[in-house]
Amino acid sequence: MAWRSSGVTLAELVDNLAGHGMIPNERVKQAFLSVDRAHYAPRNPYQDAPQSIGHGVTISAPHMHAMAVKHLGEFVIGGSQGRRVLDVGSGSGYLTHILAELVGDNGEVVGVEHIPALCEQAKHNMEKSDEGRQLLASGKVKFVVGDGRLGDSSSTDTFDAIHVGASAATLPQALVDQLRSPGRMFIPINDEDDSEGNQSVWTIDKAADGTVTKTRLFGVRYVPLTDAPR
């Protein structure tokens, strides 16, 4: 059903995502409605399908972004204290912007992208809206160039939630280390002992005492989390 969520307009796309159970509540729905995917996806922005954004990279289908937010749940939705969220493989900046709508007034979202041109593209895309410009100017959203497998090496602070938008060969320990206790990560990982390139999305939960629990959600097909192209 998720793949049937396409719409002609942003409102129709979001309504279809909600109708198919991809969007869990009104706050998340309003966040998706407040960010125009047309600013971040070059063609057919309201089609529920991935598409190329250049540099051998794709922007995920809208239902995958919705599922990521749904499974990260309370760890991205901030109140007065705000949430701190890392978006690994931030690409064109679409999900980074949506997360910024959810983390609360005192929250922060850091997008990490290993391709410098995509980092600049994400900033340019956010500047297409007044709200996006304000998020960048306030520092609530920032984009950094770096190896996503190492997380945000520009800071020693940790994150309530980490979203990874590319498939890792194995679970990166650096990302686990940068997850708060409690905290949650949403990450696709290559299936073990699989010669066909299958991948699965996992949630990685770190409890208050530091205990890490891994839960498999579903199979996917993502671009790999790799070194930047030379």
Give the burial class of 209: count Cβ atoms within 10 A of its Cβ; 0-12 exposed, 13-18 middle, 19 or more buried: exposed
Q: What residue ranges define each of the domains in the chain, with the CATH number in brackets?
A: 63-220 (3.40.50.150)
Threshold 0.85, pTM exceeds: yes
Q: CA separation (Å) from 15 to 19, 57, 85?
A: 6, 27, 26
Residues 6 or more apart whose Cβ sits within 8 Å of residue 194 = none
**Catalytic pick from 5, 60, 90, 167?**
60
Sorting pLDDT into bands at 50, 70 and 90, what band is 4? confident
The whole-number average pLDDT for the span 20-49 is: 96
Task: Report the pLDDT value the prediction gives residue 3, as an integer from 0 to 100.
Answer: 66
CA distance 191 to 200: 6
pLDDT digits (tens, 9 = 90+) for 157-206: 999 999 999 999 999 999 999 999 999 999 999 998 766 778 999 999 99
Query: Does residue 60 carry a catalytic annotation?
Result: yes
